Amino acid sequence: MNFIVSMTELKDIEVLIKAGAYGDAIRKVHELEDPFDKVQALTMIAHALYYENEDINWIETLLEDAMYLADKIKKPQVKVSAYGLIASTYSSIGDNEAALILFEDSIDIASRIKNPIWRSLALAYLAYYLAISGFAEHSLDIFEIAFDEIIRAEVGYNLKVDYLIEMAELLEKAGDQLPSKEAIPFYTRSYDIFDKLNLSQKAALLEKKSKLAFTVLHAGMPEIREALNNGDGNKAVSILSTVYSGIQKFIALLEVALWLRKINNPQYLEITKTAFKEDIEEDIPETTIQYIARLLTELGDLEKAIIFANKIGDIKKRSEALSTVAVALAKQRKFEKAYLLAREIPEDSIKRTTIEEIAAIERS
């Protein structure tokens, strides 16, 4: 069972919010019958007003009204979701103190729910709101508690599967709203559940989302990943161009290009060229140089990868980077260049291993 009720009437309010008709939207809230609907509507308006730089006192009044309505909700599992939603809204407007107090209250209410299924789902929704509020680690811990509760619950198999699917979808939804580095563990856990339930299509989708997040670690905004997941490289580049500049934009473009290469989209060549039109400062951290060398190697731009690899000061790390490029050259059947590069590797043990690997590729 999903605690989030029909959004039909809420969509009417959303239309008013997008039109900037906040007064009309607030009046429309009172026409809704369900208290949770009203809470959702008020938080939607509060979000919109905050991003319009409206009076913070007005926003706080709306959230206080939302709390008044949440307190009237009788079902504790729904009240937990309402508290979590309001807490995440407080977090989004920068009031983490109010958010944490509400989250703590939500945990207390959820822990006192006697029905293990309702308790587990309440915790799962609370975990979702924690995730999108910037408390990813705490969220994952609570998701695990919710998972254990569902597994232990004495209910029929089909019903248990339904609840596990709902939890996996919440994990996925949370991941979709987080930057890549934070999204990965949510996608991984969601994949595990779908895979164990033999839902191969959903598992494959989560596997793709995980691979995308791993590929665009720096250009990891949810909006960029969504565009790339839909195969829209132009939109991804447009978004990152408004957010990043200099070396950050350079790396973001290379990551986007690499993803497009992985999905066999030839646009990666154009985006790689675009990346090199950026002004890149000379004083780049060594870890960043290593990362750029790796990206260029995976993109198949091996000549430029060699240039960056040779800028790495640490002998072992430079040797490893050059080794990777040399093996990549061998895989392209460019054995003469591969051996020449391998012989330039400064660390002897890595040089020997690389030459042996090139020879093995040549024999295959």
**For the domain that residue 160 is a member of, what is the CATH number?**
1.25.40.10
What is the band of 281 on the pLDDT scale with cuts at 50, 70, 90? confident
Q: Which of 272, 237, 241, 243 is nearest to 257 (CA)?
A: 272
Based on the domain organization, do 48 and 145 belong to the same domain? Answer: yes
Domain-embedded: residue 179 = no
Task: Determine the structural domain holding residue 321 and report its residue range.
Answer: 282-364
Based on the domain organization, do 352 and 331 belong to the same domain? Answer: yes
Amino acid at 17: I
Average of per-residue pLDDT across 148-160: 92
d(CA 264, CA 231): 10
Q: Which of 109, 87, 110, 89 is nearest to 100 (CA)?
A: 87
Average pLDDT, the chain: 93
* pLDDT higher than 70, residue 3: no
Kindly state the tokens that stand for 75.
Answer: 């079902």
d(CA 33, CA 262): 49
Based on the domain organization, do 15 and 131 belong to the same domain? Answer: yes
Based on the domain organization, do 156 and 25 belong to the same domain? Answer: yes
Based on the domain organization, do 22 and 160 belong to the same domain? Answer: yes
Please give the pLDDT value at position 10.
80
Q: Which tens digit of pLDDT belongs to each residue from 244-271?
A: 999 999 999 999 999 999 999 999 999 9
Average of per-residue pLDDT across 214-223: 96
Based on the domain organization, do 255 and 323 belong to the same domain? Answer: no
Domain-embedded: residue 2 = no
Average of per-residue pLDDT across 5-10: 56
Domain-embedded: residue 177 = no
Q: Which of 180, 262, 176, 151 is nearest to 190 (CA)?
A: 176
Average of per-residue pLDDT across 170-190: 98
Domain-embedded: residue 347 = yes
* CA of residue 36 relative to chain centroid, distance: 27
Domain-embedded: residue 326 = yes
Residue count of the chain, please give it.
364
Phi, psi of 21 (to 5 degrees): -90, 70
Where is average pLDDT lowest: 42-46, 86-90, 280-284? 280-284
Q: How many structural domains comprise the chain?
A: 3
Please give the pLDDT value at position 61.
93
Based on the domain organization, do 320 and 354 belong to the same domain? Answer: yes
d(CA 159, CA 265): 42
Domain-embedded: residue 114 = yes
Residue matched to tokens 């990813």: 136
Last residue of a domain, one of 250, 281, 312: 281
Three-class DSSP labels, 315-340: HHHHHHHHHHHHHHHHHCCCHHHHHH
Give percent helix, percent strand, percent coil of the chain, each to the nearest 5: 75, 0, 25
Kindly state the tokens that stand for 110.
Answer: 């959820």
Q: For the chain, how big is the Rg over CA atoms in Å?
A: 25
Is the Cβ–Cβ distance between 132 and 174 less than 8 Å? yes
What pTM was computed for the model? 0.89
Last residue of a domain, one of 227, 259, 281: 281
Angle, to 10 degrees, between the axis of helix 157-176 and the axis of helix 180-196? 160
d(CA 297, CA 70): 54
Based on the domain organization, do 43 and 93 belong to the same domain? Answer: yes
* pLDDT higher than 50, residue 8: no
